[in-house]
Chains A and B, each alone.
Chain A
Amino acid sequence: EDKVVQSPLSLVVHEGDTVTLNCSYEVTNFRSLLWYKQEKKAPTFLFMLTSSGIEKKSGRLSSILDKKELSSILNITATQTGDSAIYLCAVVLSGGGADGLTFGKGTHLIIQP
């Protein structure tokens, strides 16, 4: 059975801290891994990572895939209260996404002022 595990499930830090969120997967026919940010509504896309191992960056956020460890990390530096959200990791299988995304349970990140 395909499995995506995120850790920690919840995290509380202070503004300005750096956080690292983890996502590990046990799936057959891995194709890519996606990170989403979910505030009080729909998930919004952050990054897509493949086995190429290329790091993706956007402002204070960055993410990379470790294909040997079957995992990915999402880093957020100099956190702000607006970073508070649920961060979702999802894996796409080599069926080309025809069977949808397999999601982890998410990391609930809270940034305290």
Chain B
Amino acid sequence: NAGVTQTPKFQVLKTGQSMTLQCAQDMNHEYMSWYRQDPGMGLRLIHYSVGAGITDQGEVPNGYNVSRSTTEDFPLRLLSAAPSQTSVYFCASSPGTGVYEQYFGPGTRLTVT
């Protein structure tokens, strides 16, 4: 099993550009989520999904969209990048909402200039 994979590992965007961060898991997990990590702020939840076709907002959803068309994939879209979105982004998954250990991907370091 590859576990949770994320691409790209690094990305530099200019203000106003859009892009999609990819996340995939091969563990047949129902629950997937996106976090951002900023210095001194810990990890904050952006969006999450409890299964294919179901998504919901977390603590800091503004400026981001998600979709969950398959169990395996949970892409995060930045609609119009802003410098405030410079961060490290982690995708995580777990077998379901009744199981709480989340498995994290390796992260994507995004810089918006």
Contact = CB atoms under 8 A, between A and B. Distances in A.
Contacts of B44: 103
- Contact size class for B? 20 to 34
A103 B97 CA distance: 17
Interface of A: 4, 31-32, 34, 41-45, 48, 88, 90, 92, 95-106
Q: Which of B43, B48, B101 has the most CB of A within 10 A?
A: B43
A6 B41 CA distance: 11
B48 A104 contact: no
B53 interface: no
B45 A100 contact: yes
A32 B100 contact: yes
B97 A96 contact: yes
A34 B101 contact: yes
Contacts of A43: 43, 90, 104
